[in-house]
Every structure is written in C-alpha cells, then in structure tokens.
Amino acid sequence: MRTWEVEQARGIVIVVHGAGEHHGRYKWLIDQFQQQRFHVISGDLPGFGRTRGKRGHVEHFDQYIDTVYSWYKEAEQFSLPIYLVGHSMGGLAVVQTALYKYMDITGIILSSPCFGLYTNPNKAVAVTGKVLHRILPGFSVKSRITAESITRDPSIRAEFIKDQYRVSTVTLRWYNELLRAIRESFEYANQFPDIPLLVMQAGDDFVVDAHRTNEWFNALWISDRSFKRFPELYHELFNEPEKHDVFEYMMTFIDARLSVSATI
C-alpha cells in the first residue's frame, strides 16, 4: 500500500486495480486526483503486482475484501470524505467490500466492473475447472486479457506488453472465487448499502460482459445511483484517448457529492 498526500486536501480516493495488473498502471489517474487536491491510497491486490505468493492466485475472494478494507482504514485516519474507485475485478472487490464491511464513505465509482466475462470457457472446460479447482487449486491457465482488448491507445498497448509486473495467468481457484463473488454480488444486490454510486461502462468492452453490468445496476435499491456508458471506448476507460473526458465526468459526480457531504 502507498499513500500520495497533497496540501489542503479536499478528500481522499482509494484506487483499486483490476485482474492481472497493478497500481503502477494508474499513475496518470493518481496524478489527476492530486491535481484536484485529493490524497490517494492504492496498492497491489494479493497475487498481483509486487505482492508475495503465487501470482494470479487467491485462496478466497475475502483476501481482496480484507485488502481493500485495510486501505479504507488507512484513509479513515485523515478524517476527510472518502471515495472508492474500482476498475474491472477491482470494481467487483469494491462491491464485495461494501457488502460485507461497514464503511463511512462519500461515494463509490466503478470503472467497467467485472460482473461477468466477455468470453466464458465452454461448458466442458467450465465443468472440468469446477472439479479440478478442489484437487489442483493452484493449476494456472492463461488469462484472456490482451493488449488489443483493453485500449485503443498504441502506446498503452506497448507498455502493457513490456510490463514486468503484469500477470498473464490465473489459477483455477482464482477463477472459481471470481465466479462465486459475481454470484454473490447479484444475489445480494438489493442489500447493497445506500452509498452514492457511479458506474462507468466501456461501450466496446472485450474483457467484461457489459450487459451484466447493466443487470447488476438495475437490481440495486439505492437512492443515489448513476450509470454512464462511453460509446466506442474500450475496457480501460482511464487509458483510452478520451481519458480526460472520462475523468472530468467522474469529477462532476465526486464534486457534487462532496458539496452535499460538506453541508451535512
């Protein structure tokens, strides 16, 4: 975990990365938040980036929940409005943390959250995986995340390919824990806490199932929720050529809720 501090901070943002990547890929986003006078907390989730242990593996999705919650507890010490920003699988981790842990936060932003995969394995492979993950939980398979599927920006694609901390395989246990977390997120959608929520979904997403994102959003029973689809943008909204527009839209949501929290 790392904390970036600014002078006269207006709030604090916790950034949670997606599967196969690490917090170092969010330098541009972190810089933007700092320019807007927000402290930022981020780090690598278990099994990714520079963390110890088997890469692309968790024994239980709770490991992600515990990690995100520990970042929240660190943010809490600043006594400032807190926002959680989760991308892809990081968005799912944020949702799960909000479901199972009490957090006094001002808002949640999800970027192309993972509530389903764009391409699922065929039935035979899926059944085999369900059996093998109990016998060989650490067995690894190639992930289907490619440079061409995440962004239209050639420079970001090149960096992604050369990234020494990128994880290109995941274990059967990891995959089955991901599916379990997705099922629970739908099952308990009506119990999601009444926290201001912004969901931003890539219009051309070749990593997660955008339709499932809509289904989850429509199942919520919360009073303050917003959904924004960005047509023609690929999965990584903050790495697309239009990333400044995406950031400005998100800041409109953040600033509006920040003003409301200041009057309470």
Q: Which CATH number is 69's domain given?
A: 3.40.50.1820
- CA dist 201 → 148, 207, 227 (Å): 18, 11, 8
Give residue 252's pLDDT: 98
Expressed as residue numbers, the domain containing 105 is 2-263
Structure token digits, residue 116: 């389903």
User: Tokens 């690929």 correspond to what residue?
Assistant: 234
Tally the domains of the chain: 1
Give residue 133's pLDDT: 45
Mean pLDDT of 130-139: 48
Q: Using the predicted structure, report yes or no on whether residue 237 has a pLDDT greater than 60.
A: yes
Count of CB atoms situated within 10 Å of the CB of 53: 11
- Give catalytic residues, as residue numbers: 88, 205, 235
pTM for this prediction: 0.93
pLDDT in tens, 69-81: 999 999 999 999 9
Give residue 140's pLDDT: 67
Predicted confidence band of residue 97 (pLDDT cuts 50, 70, 90): very high
Give residue 261's pLDDT: 64
pLDDT in tens, 185-229: 999 999 999 999 999 999 999 999 999 999 999 999 999 999 999
